Amino acid sequence: MTTTNGSNEAIPTLQLLDPEGRRVTTRGTKGYRDRAAALTTEDLRGMYRDMMLTRRFDDEATSLQRQGELALFAPARGQEAAQVGSAYALRPQDYVFPSYREHGVLHVRGLDPVDRLQFFRGSDHGGWNPTEHNTSVYTIVIGAHTLHATGYAMGVQRDNTPLDKHDGTAVITYFGDGATSQGDVNESMVYAAVNQAPVVFFLQNNQWAISEPTTRQTRTPLYKRGEAFGMPSLRVDGNDVLAVYAATQEALERARTGQGPSFIEAFTYRMGAHTTSDDPTRYRTTEQEEYWRRRDPIDRLGALLRAEHALDDDFEAEIKAAGDELGAKLRTGVRALDGGAPVSTFDDVYATPHGIVAAERAWYEAYDAGDPPAPQYAIADSAQGGAR
Amino acid sequence: MTTMAERTHTTSDAPEAASGIQTLSLGKAINEGLRAAMRNDDKVMLMGEDIGPLGGVFRVTDGLQAEFGEQRVVDTPLAESGIVGTAIGLAMRGYRPVCEIQFDGFVFPAFNQITTQLAKIHNRTHGAVPMPVVIRIPYGGGIGGVEHHGESPESLFAHTAGLRVVSPSTPQDAYTMIQEAIASPDPVIYFEPKSRYWGKGAVDLDAPVGAETLNAAQVVRQGTDVTLVAYGPSVVTALKTAEALAEEGRSAEVLDLRAISPIDTGAVVASVRKTGRCVVIHEAPVFFGAGAEIAARVTEECFYALEAPVLRVGGFHTPYPVAKHEHEYLPSVDRVLDAVDRAFAH
């Protein structure tokens, strides 16, 4: 059966929570259900809160872009369960290689929300120190970071040889359905598989690579790609936070225990535009959007919590207040981001002095100060490559 | 800038010295440099195609997997973007990967990783994530290779901020510079002049390893009438030309750049101010090549000292030719002499 999203619903998909928020007890999923059952009510409330705040972040950032405060923004709306559920399965020492839409993951990792918008404001190419949260900065060349993830995992492997020295570090990388067509993504799976590197490939299949549907990327269900490279692969309902959490936790455990890489396809939907510059009405139908709106990941978890008497007006009000606080912080913090002095462009181009950069910097500083014109290509101190 | 009175570019019959000075081919000198770096730092590792039991197609990694094991000398899948991309991840984890690209023309599958990632991650993270990765690339022609086996793509990398681009011309420099490249916290593209792999010279295995040769050009022959600027495989051509010029009564100074990013502008300018003439020699096409950059800088800095325009001798704006024709494409002594004649005719 082909659905409005062009995919076959008969493909085996792990689901622990149906679109109405009821727990599902399909045969063969007991291991995953046990993992989900280990989540306390407080854990589930935390997930709900973080998904709500991720959506609020989206709305605030989109508003800031409309006001001209951000150059661009890529909303994560609709993918909150895939992002928050997988991030909840991570440990602090695990290393995350995001693409550029993983706002929910970064939120759970504890990154400052203002820093997370530096890239989109145009005040920084990154925005945070990757070593502080074991979370790499966004990578814009699609799929390039998946190789970094595999390489990092190969390093973890070497640090942890023999395996009983293992500190339990695992690596996860996020990418989309469009990225699966990239050579780097395929090479990263080759390298991970032959090395049995401790990395989890987390695909968010949100159905759209800007304007191109998944049918422009593949003839086969994408989870089968991972299988073909020789790693355990699974498709999960990406709007079911419990299934995402359980599947990711299982994959991370395999990585931690020397059982190599895994592949997860979280089947989800990009409810918003690709970015604030995009216009989805040019390429997709309102029927499809409506189909997925009824599968909203936040509504689903909310229905479960209400059924289990874990969501009341007080908690909703508390989340609303936290969202208001987040919004205020973003509006103030983002406007204050100015990228520093233009001369900082010359900072950190190299770790050690480089004569050409040093000479151009010196020229720029003199020009900026209105000093008598200096030769643009002044000779640097050759032996040392010039002063910094 | 340093000056060394004597450098040996050709096969020497001298027996191996006992005091740490040995006569080695350029390829073997790199091998010894890699070995020394790996002994000094267990985070140094090698990655590439066929570099394990085979020792690489040019045998530059010969014996290293036997000494350091498969975890440190890695035979990778046949995918160059994967080699560099995983090396970046390993560097993030604290390793110092040295990648071997089998031939110059095969670096292009990795070009994206090198230019959009490797070159920029230090800058993107404000120095929090340095990228101590070395990319070794056998380059240049003259060995009768098939397509993609004789190219000189160094300008493409020099045009990218964040990369250092170097090329040794002697076994001693090859030995020292590979260790300095590995020690550098910056990514270094280390171009190996493949036609000179077999040329031998004295190598002091105890020579100090700093950072100087990665940044500083070297006068390898002193002269007064014209400056011949070269690097990598073209240094031998420049030296042979200088000998021919000496027979004609002209005194050529030969400058070995060693690096084209950064270019040691000061060393070039100092020499040209003395000689008044400058000819740049490289195998890469002259169109948008390193010679164009040098000519622009020399013109700006030495305008009133110049007796003639800066001239360039190098490859043509054609695909690298078939092996049957490559000797007409590569800068030869005859073509350099022709350029010097033109410089003197002004």
Selecting among B9, B122, B126, B149, the annotated active-site residue is B149
Closest CA to A271 of A86, A114, A81, A143: A81
Q: Which fold has domain B22-213?
A: Rossmann fold (3.40.50)
* pTM for the structure as a whole: 0.94
**Cβ(A21)–Cβ(A307) below 8 Å:** yes
Q: How far is B323 from chain A (nearest CA, A)?
A: 31
For B:176-235, CB contacts with A below 8 A are: 184-186, 211-212, 214-217
Q: Do B89 and A144 touch (CB under 8 A)?
A: no
All residues of chain A having their beta carbon less than 8 Å from the beta carbon of residue B185 are 351-352
Domain assignment present for residue A292? The answer is yes
Q: Which of B81, B126, B215 sits opposite A187 (nearest CB)?
A: B81
Q: What band does B14 get if pLDDT is binned at 50, 70 and 90? A: very low
Nearest CA in chain B to A150: B86
Show the domain range for A377.
342-384
**Cβ(B281)–Cβ(B238) below 8 Å:** yes
For B:91-110, CB contacts with A below 8 A are: 91-95, 109
| Burial per residue of B105-137, b for 16 or more beta-carbon CB atoms within 10 angstroms, e otherwise | bbbbbbbbbbbebbbbbbbbbeebbbbbbbbbb
Torsion of CA A384, A386, B4, B7, to 10 degrees: 90
What is the number of structural domains in chain A?
2
Whether residue B167 has pLDDT greater than 50: yes
Domain assignment present for residue A10? The answer is no
Cα A135 versus chain centre, distance: 10
Name the helix (H) or strand (E) containing B31.
helix B26-40
| Burial per residue of A4-32, b for 16 or more beta-carbon CB atoms within 10 angstroms, e otherwise | ebebeeeeebbbbbebebeeeeeeebeeb
Amino acid identity, position A375: P
Q: How far apart are CA B110 and CA B103, in angstroms?
A: 12
Domain assignment present for residue A4? The answer is no
Q: Do B123 and A125 touch (CB under 8 A)?
A: yes
- Within 10 angstroms of residue B184's Cβ, the number of other Cβ atoms is 22
Q: What percent of chain B has pLDDT over 70?
A: 95
Looking at the structure, do residues A287 and A353 belong to the same domain, yes or no? no
| B299 interfaces chain A, CB cutoff of 8 Å | no
Q: Is A70 helix (H, G, I), strand (E, B) or coil?
A: coil
Q: Do B90 and A183 touch (CB under 8 A)?
A: no
Q: Do B265 and A377 touch (CB under 8 A)?
A: yes
| B309 interfaces chain A, CB cutoff of 8 Å | no
Spell out the per-residue pLDDT of chain A, length 388, in tens: 334 444 556 899 999 999 999 999 999 999 999 999 999 999 999 999 999 999 999 999 999 999 999 999 999 999 999 999 999 999 999 999 999 999 999 999 999 999 999 999 999 999 999 999 999 999 999 999 999 999 999 999 999 866 556 678 999 999 999 999 999 999 999 999 999 999 999 999 999 999 999 999 999 999 999 999 999 999 999 999 999 999 999 999 999 999 999 999 999 999 999 999 999 999 999 999 999 999 999 999 999 999 999 999 999 999 999 999 999 999 999 999 999 999 999 999 999 999 999 999 999 999 988 876 655 555 544 444 433 3
Looking at the structure, do residues A354 and A292 belong to the same domain, yes or no? no
Q: How far is B332 from chain A (nearest CA, A)?
A: 29
Annotation says B149 is catalytic: yes
Q: How far is A65 from chain B (nearest CA, A)?
A: 22
pLDDT given at position A370: 86
Cis amide leading into B262 (omega within 30): yes
Torsion of CA A359, A362, A363, A366, to 10 degrees: -170
Nearest CA in chain B to A187: B82
Domain assignment present for residue A12? The answer is no
Q: Which of B81, B94, B216 sits opposite A184 (nearest CB)?
A: B81
Written as six digits, the tokens of A253 are: 């455990």
All residues of chain B having their beta carbon less than 8 Å from the beta carbon of residue A137 are 124-125
Rg over CA atoms, chain A: 23
Annotation says A270 is catalytic: yes
pLDDT given at position B284: 98
**Cβ(A211)–Cβ(A271) below 8 Å:** no
Closest CA to A11 of A233, A260, A182: A233
Q: Which of A125, A152, A194 sits opposite B124 (nearest CB)?
A: A125
Written as six digits, the tokens of B258 are: 């060693």
Q: How far apart are the first and last CA of chain A?
A: 64
Q: How far is B126 from chain A (nearest CA, A)?
A: 6
**Cβ(B255)–Cβ(A373) below 8 Å:** no
pLDDT given at position A346: 98
Looking at the structure, do residues A105 and A235 belong to the same domain, yes or no? yes
Closest CA to A244 of A50, A19, A80, A108: A80
For B:42-71, CB contacts with A below 8 A are: 45, 71
Q: Do A139 and B117 touch (CB under 8 A)?
A: yes
Looking at the structure, do residues A84 and A219 belong to the same domain, yes or no? yes
Sequence-ordered list of residues with C-beta below 8 angstroms from that of A375, at least 6 positions apart, any chain: A363, B300, B301
Q: Do A375 and B129 touch (CB under 8 A)?
A: no
Q: How far apart are CA B301 and CA B295, in angstroms?
A: 10
Q: How far apart are the first and last CA of chain B?
A: 29
pLDDT given at position A9: 61
Q: At A205, phi and psi to the nearest 5?
A: -85, 95
- Within 10 angstroms of residue B314's Cβ, the number of other Cβ atoms is 22
pLDDT given at position B2: 40
Geometric angle at alpha carbon A187, from A186 and A193, rounded to 5° = 90
**Mutation choice for B interface testing from A382, A384, A388 by most B CBs within 10 A:** A382
All residues of chain A having their beta carbon less than 8 Å from the beta carbon of residue B261 are 354, 356
- Interface A-B: count of C-beta contacts within 8 A: 177
What does the mean pLDDT of chain B come to?
94
Residues of chain B with CATH 3.40.50.920: 218-345
All residues of chain A having their beta carbon less than 8 Å from the beta carbon of residue B297 are 377
Whether residue B88 has pLDDT greater than 70: yes
Does domain B218-345 fall under CATH 3.90.650.10? My reply is: no
Amino acid identity, position A314: D
Whether residue B158 has pLDDT greater than 80: yes
Q: What percent of chain B has pLDDT over 90?
A: 92
Burial class of residue A310, CB neighbours in 10 A (0-12, 13-18, 19+): middle
All residues of chain A having their beta carbon less than 8 Å from the beta carbon of residue B211 are 352, 385
Looking at the structure, do residues A243 and A299 belong to the same domain, yes or no? yes
Sign of CA dihedral B222, B223, B228, B233: negative
Token pair 């689903």: residue = A300
Domain assignment present for residue A61? The answer is yes
Looking at the structure, do residues A311 and A347 belong to the same domain, yes or no? no
Geometric angle at alpha carbon A338, from A333 and A342, rounded to 5° = 160
Looking at the structure, do residues A115 and A199 belong to the same domain, yes or no? yes
Closest CA to B134 of B98, B92, B110, B183: B98
Token pair 């509006």: residue = A331
**Cβ(B331)–Cβ(B313) below 8 Å:** yes
**Cβ(A46)–Cβ(A311) below 8 Å:** no
| CATH number for the domain harbouring residue A293 | 3.40.50.970
Nearest CA in chain B to A380: B266
Q: How far apart are CA A147 and CA B203, in angstroms?
A: 38
**Cβ(B290)–Cβ(B280) below 8 Å:** yes
Q: How far apart are CA A132 and CA A126, in angstroms?
A: 13
**Mutation choice for A interface testing from B43, B124, B293 by most A CBs within 10 A:** B124
Q: How far is B301 from chain A (nearest CA, A)?
A: 8
All residues of chain A having their beta carbon less than 8 Å from the beta carbon of residue B71 are 158, 161
ipTM: 0.94
Looking at the structure, do residues A317 and A349 belong to the same domain, yes or no? no
Q: How far is A184 from chain B (nearest CA, A)?
A: 7
**Cβ(A103)–Cβ(A116) below 8 Å:** yes
